[in-house]
Every structure is written in C-alpha cells, then in structure tokens.
Amino acid sequence: MKSLSAEHPSLAPPQVIAATSENLPEQVGALARARAFAEPLLASETLDTGENVLAHADAVAAILKSIGGSEAMQTASYLVYACDHLNKPHEVIAKAFGENFADLAVETTKLVRVQRMARIAQTAAGNTAAPMAQTAAAQTESVRKMLLAFSKDLRVVMLRLASRLQTLRHFAATKLPVPENLARESLQVFAPLANRLGIWEVKWEMEDLSFRFLEPDTYKQVAKLLDEKRAEREAAVEHLRQQLATELAAQGITATVQGRPKHIYSIVKKMRGKSLGFDQVYDIRALRIVVPNVPDCYAALSWVHSQFAPVTEEFDDYIARPKANGYQSLHTVVRDAAGQPIEVQVRTQAMHDHAEHGVAAHWAYKEAGAKGYAGSVTAAGEYDAKIAVLRQLLAWERDLSGGQDAAVFDDRIYVLTPDAAIVELPKGATAVDFAYSVHTSLGHRCRGAKVDGAMVPLNTPLKNGQTVEVTTVREGGPSRDWLNLELGFLVSHRARAKVRAWFNALAMGETVAKGREAVEKLLQREGKTAIKLDDLASQLGFNNAEALFEVVGKDEFSLRNIETLLRPPEPAPTQDDYMPLKKPRAAGGGKGGVLVVGVDSLMTQLAKCCKPAPPDLISGFVTRGKGVSVHRSDCSNLRNMVTRSGDRVIDVEWGTPGAKDGNVYPVDVAVQANDRQGLLRDISEVFAKEKMNVIGVQTQSIKGMAWMTFTVEVAESGRLAKVLGIVNELSGVRSARRR
C-alpha cells in the first residue's frame, strides 16, 4: 500500500469521480454522500504514520462533531483527502457538492502543503534539536500562510486542528516514534490557536499528547505522581462535590457540580512558571460549578467563600474582565478543613459551552449561505462575529511571538479590509502603505483614510486588527511628500519603490518632451518637417523616436549629429554659385504676393522651415537655381544661412495685403495635450468652424501624452492667434502654438 504523509496525502493515480446528479443540494445528505464519494479513493491508502486515510478522515469528522462543528465541516474532512486523487478537484467536487465545499477542500489542501513544506525545511535545516523557545522562528512562514488562509475561510483552521489532533492520537495509540518537529508545531502553533479560539477540549488534549512525545520522562513522572494518590484525591473531591451540590441546592441555587479532569502539561507549566513543587499546584484538586445565570455565579461564589477559607491572592473574576478569547468564569482557591487547597470554577452553562468548544459552539457563519465565510456580509451581526474571530487569530499570533520569541513577529502587523480580508504590512505602516499593498493604482490615487470608521491623517501608523478604508480620486498620482521619511507617510519599501517609479516615469516624460521639442525645432530650421521621426531615429541608430528624444532631452546626444545627417557637407562655393544682383530700385513683382525689392520678375518661394504668412516680417535669401527663398525674419534657419553667406540676403516685402489678393499660406501649428478619445476630432472641429483648411496632420502619443502638428492654410497670420486661443481651452490641451 502507498505511504502518504499524515498532513498531506501524496498524489495517487488520478481518478475522476462523476457526480450522480447535476444539481445536488449542498447540505442534504452531504456527509453520507461525501464518505461514499471518498471511500473508493481512500480506503486502500495509508498515511506515513501507518494510519488508514479513510479511518483518519472518519476520526476527523468525529472530532469536529464532538466540538460542535457543523455537518458541512464534517463533510469537508472527506473531501480534503480526496482532492489529491482527482485530476480537477475543484471542478469535480463543485459539480458533486457545490462551490462552497470545493473552495473549502481545495483551500485546506493548499494549507496542508504549506505546513508540510515548512516542516520539511525545518528538518533539513537541522532545527529539530533546538530548544522549545527557539522553534517559533522556524514556524514563522507556516503561521503567516495559515493567517492568509484564515482570511478566506475560517473553517479551514477547524479542519486542520481536528486533523492534527487525530494524528497525535494515532501516535499515542500505536506507540510509534513521533517526528519531533510535528510535536513541537502542535504544541507551539496549533494548541495556542485552539486556546485563542476557546476550544479547550482540543487545546488540553493536544498539549498533553505533544508534551508526552517531546518530554516523555517528565510526562511519566508527573503522571505517576498523579496516580499515586489518585484514589485518595478522587474520593476527597467526590465528597466535596456532593457536599457543594447538596448545600447549594439548600440555598436555592440550582447548580451542577463536577470534578475537573487534570491536564499534565498545565500542571508542569504552573510548576515551572511559579517554581512550585507538585503538592503546591492548587488545581490538582478542582471542582466546577455550573449555574443558570450570572447572579447565581456570584451567589455560589459567596457561599463557597463562607464555607471554606479562600486564598485571596488566587481569586480571578473573568466574568467582569473576560479573557481576550472571550472566556468567562470565576476562579477561586479555597482550603478545606484539613487545610488542603482546592480550585473552584463557577460559570453559567453558556460560559461553559464556550469554554469547552469556543467558536465551534457559536459558528457565526455556518448559516451564511453558499458562499460560507468567504461570502459577502449580509447582516451587521455576522460581520461583527467575523471581525471578532479574526481579531482572536491576530491575538493568537501575538501570543505566539510574545511567549516564544518576541522578535519573530515584531516587524509586521495585520490589518483588515472593509470586507474583512487580512492584509500583511510592516510594523508602523500607514494607510498609504495599505493602499499600495492592495493595488498600485489604489495607492497612487489615495487621498484619505478611515481607520475603524474614523478619519485619520494618512501618516497615522496602523495597529494590528484595525479595519482600514481608503478614499481615492478618479485620476491623479502620489505626492512627493510621501517619499520624505521624516513625514512618515510610507514605511513599506515596496510602496516607496512604486512611488519612486511613478515620479521617474513622470520625469522621463518631461525629458522626452524636452528632447522632442529640440529635435522638431532643428527640423524646422533645416526645412525637414516632413521627415518621419521614427525614420530619422532609425537612421541615427535608435529603435524609435522616443529613444532619440530621451537621449537628446538628457543632453547625451548632440543635435549636430542630426544636422550632419540632414545636411551633408557642401563643396566650397565658386563664383558661379552666386546669382549676380542688380542694385536695388523700385519694388518688383514676385510669386505668392511677395515683392523682391529692386529686382523685376524674380522667382520667389516660401520657406518650408518657418512657413511665413502676412503680415510676418520677412527676409529673402538667394538660392542656387531656385530663386529667392522667403523666410520669417526670426527664422533660426535664416540666421544660420546669413552667418555663412550674408551677401546673399535680399530685401523682400508682402504685396497686396491679406485676403484681398486671394492667396492663402500654409502654417504649422504644434499642439501638446493629454491623450484622450476624440482629441483629434475636437481640434479639427475648431479649425473647421474658423474656416481654416487643414492640409496636413502629424500625431504621436507616448505614455498618455499626444504631440500633434497641424498644417493649416491662412490668408494672414494675425487671425491665427485667436484660433489657437480657442484650441488652448479644449479639455486636456496643454499648449497650442504656431511653429
């Protein structure tokens, strides 16, 4: 037969069990159906403890029933072990039993694997021989994974507690050697968890069994001391029990009086913690009084103190001041006529039920519907119960760290989302850290926070178990103040990295924009605005235009390299290259409404680099074979040409003013805007309404920023300023200017 781990059945040959019906109700007969479902898969399999898997599942279901677990939880004990024998466990179990059972079984199986891996890692590291106080560190990862699992479905932990208790029982019954790390994990992780959930029945038995395996000699010694005077002690306790029951009844107090079972581990802890001898441990002899209501508790206590001598320093009122896990009872120690101490506990039946079974006796979410504990909160009572249990889990973790190794968990906290999911954060984290841990976008847009329903500053340190809700804006980014460590907005290294990345991206966008502007100005001077920017970048050895803009913006790439590419060196000019000019005289005619002063019928052309239009101030430059090139007087390209060949400049002026000559002139308009749907359409509509013909458009969008160049025809450039003012008012437009 195949050997499987006690905590994780290893993979067997896949078998797929089809559901007998397409629509089986989740709760009707689920327990019997689950056992029948799992039996062919588990009946012939054994755990590595030697225990039959089906027998283990039967025992887990019985333990859950004994502590008040619902039938649904008992059903899940079979489905968990069936998971690893199915090709698609979630799909198959969901079809046969419903999504609720499938989620619970698969989630529990994941946790089983995590725990097993943690123990294997601990064994490999040689930690099994470490003192008890040092083993908490080895369990850190396991504990963390468990907490994450709890936030989805608390029933998972009940299944794990019951399974671990059965594993310990099996080792005790078979007297097989127990893996030491398994026993330590049971004592230092699972038993404290059962304690925090108030499931005393499981806590006591798990502690005694674990201690028996870890310190067998001490266990046997204390057990022997208990056995030596067992008959005498039990007779004395029975006599006191009968006396108390009779006399309380005579006082009109309805009460059930019973002796309390003795737990060896608790006796040893008390002996060690208070440096007591065995005979000095008061609760070796103990009675419990269960009464109908709280007033009867105090009445019974008063009567006990009147009949016996109380040890005043040993009195605790856990009714007025309940323990953190909800435990309530009155504890007192009195001495009988012989001077022998006896501990007496007084509680109501409801307190007793909670003390024995804890949350299992009050399973707040078992009636929450198909979604179970992971479902949505439908009533304030269910939500409060859920939060209360989660807080107990967080308190259990603090107990574990403080009692074993306080440094283990000192560096982090757990807070709750509004729907009670657990979020892990570093100690001292703020609502901004919380927002970034949920989602980067939520962090960027975070503007306010509520902690436990109250508004707090964003730099308020959070505490374990608090419920955090952040308020956001629809769009926006982080504040630079968040990176100031002295202001305390961010503690998480991961969150700070996300904020820095946002500002780095913003700076990169500004750098790219700066580089783009420099390259476009150069292209204007060179009269090369028609060139495709990506083609230019490729010729210069860059993957795309943005890469070129980036290095230009960082001043890491000289614009002279672009000039050299666009304007190869010209041969030295000769006298034939210059057009002889006549002495200026009266104005002569030219094309495009431009007059060349002192030259008749000289061909003119408007420069493409600056695209002049009336009434711009203009100058002419005599070209080789193409007549006079007309530039705006402030054209940087013209200035460069004048520097090289000042004797080729010629005076020009506009002919008939403005629209009277019927001429139109192309001009370039540069627009920078936040990219959005409909942007190009909105800008084009402005030109259309103003009766400006658009004859060319170039657009490019990088990281949400759009750069657009429109070539429009105007009769005179003065009217263009008004149109650009309208474009500047459009949504998202940052600037609109003539080039």
**Under 8 Å CB-to-CB from 528, ≥6 apart: which residues?**
566, 609
How large is the average pLDDT for residues 193-221?
A: 83
Q: Determine the 3-state secondary structure of 670 from DSSP.
A: strand
CB-side exposure of 186: number of CA atoms within 13 Å?
30
In a domain, 624, yes or no: no
Mean per-residue pLDDT, 452-473: 87
Residues 44 and 193 in one domain: yes
CA distance 522 to 517: 9
**What is the CATH classification number for the domain harbouring 79?**
1.10.3210.10
Residues 452 and 561 in one domain: no
| Distance from C-alpha of 298 to C-alpha of 703, rounded to nearest angstrom | 73
| Residue-range definition of the domain harbouring residue 244 | 224-362
One domain, residues 520 and 566: yes
Mutual angle of helices 99-124 and 140-150, in 10-degree steps = 170
Instruction: Clarify whether residues 254 and 109 are in a common domain.
Output: no
* Residue in 43, 57, 59, 364 with CA at minimum distance from that of residue 197: 364
Q: Which residues, including other chains, have CB under 8 Å from residue 452's CB and lie 6 or more apart?
A: 466, 467
- Is the whole model's pTM more than 0.85, yes or no? no
Q: What is the number of domains present in the chain?
A: 5
* Least confident interval from 237-246, 391-400, 513-522, 575-584: 575-584
Q: What is the pLDDT of residue 277?
A: 60
Least-confidence region, from 271-280, 306-315, 592-601 = 271-280
Q: Is residue 612 part of a domain?
A: no
**Mean pLDDT of all residues in 140-155:** 51
Q: Which of 656, 672, 664, 670 is nearest to 692 (CA)?
A: 664
Residue 647 belongs to some domain of the structure: no
Which residue from 700, 698, 734, 697 is spatially nearest to 548, judged by alpha carbons?
Answer: 700
pLDDT at 138: 42
Final residue before a domain boundary, out of 182, 213, 244: 213
What is the model's pLDDT at position 220?
Answer: 84
Same domain flag for 57 and 142? yes
Same domain, 228 and 328: yes
186 and 313 part of one domain: no
Q: What CATH number is associated with residue 416?
A: 3.10.20.30
Position 584 pLDDT exceeds 70:
no
Integer Rg of the chain from CA: 42
Reference 48, options 81, 108, 106, 8; nearest CA is 8
Q: Could you report the per-residue pLDDT of 41-88, keeping only the tens digit for each?
A: 888 888 777 889 899 999 999 998 887 777 888 888 899 888 878 888
Give the pLDDT confidence score for residue 270 in this predicted structure: 66
Report residue 251: phi and psi, to 5°: -85, 0
For 91-113, how does the pLDDT look when each residue is reduced to its tens digit (9 = 90+)?
988 888 888 888 888 877 776 76
Q: What is the CATH number of the domain that holds 692?
A: 3.30.70.260
In-domain check, residue 244: yes
Residues 419 and 337 in one domain: no
For residue 112, tell me if it sits in a domain.
yes
Question: pLDDT at position 275, please?
Answer: 63
Q: Which of 79-88, 167-176, 570-579 has the lowest mean pLDDT?
A: 570-579
Report whether pLDDT(432) > 90: yes
Phi first, then psi, for residue 333 (nearest 5°) are -120, 130
Residues 464 and 523 in one domain: no
Assigned domain for 523 exists:
yes
Average pLDDT over residues 243-253: 85
Q: What share of the chain is helix, strand, coil (3-state, %, to 5)?
A: 50, 15, 35
- The CATH number of the domain where 269 resides is what? 3.30.460.10
> What band does 263 get if pLDDT is binned at 50, 70 and 90?
confident
What is the model's pLDDT at position 366?
Answer: 35
Question: Domain for residue 406, yes or no?
Answer: no
Task: Estimate the crossing angle of helix 431-438 against helix 493-525, to 10 degrees.
Answer: 70
Domain end, chosen from 519, 551, 573, is at 573
Task: Please give the pLDDT value at position 4.
Answer: 40
The average confidence (pLDDT) of the chain is 75
Q: Given a cut of 90, is residue 239 above it in pLDDT?
A: no
Instruction: Dump pLDDT digits (tens) for 328-348.
Output: 899 998 887 777 778 899 999
Residue 431 placed within a domain: yes
Predicted pLDDT of residue 373: 31
Q: Are residues 151 and 176 in the same domain?
A: yes
Q: Are residues 156 and 7 in the same domain?
A: yes
- What value does the mean pLDDT take over residues 725-738? 89
Residue that is last in its domain, among 213, 237, 252: 213
Distances (CA, A) of 294 to 300, 302, 318, 346, 569: 10, 13, 12, 9, 104
Residues 513 and 484 in one domain: no
Q: Residues 263, 226: contact at Cβ < 8 Å?
A: no
User: Within 10 A of 279 (CB to CB), how many other CB atoms are there?
Assistant: 10
CA distance 99 to 90: 8
Q: How far apart are the first and last CA of the chain?
A: 85
Q: Quick check: helix, strand or coil at residue 96?
A: helix
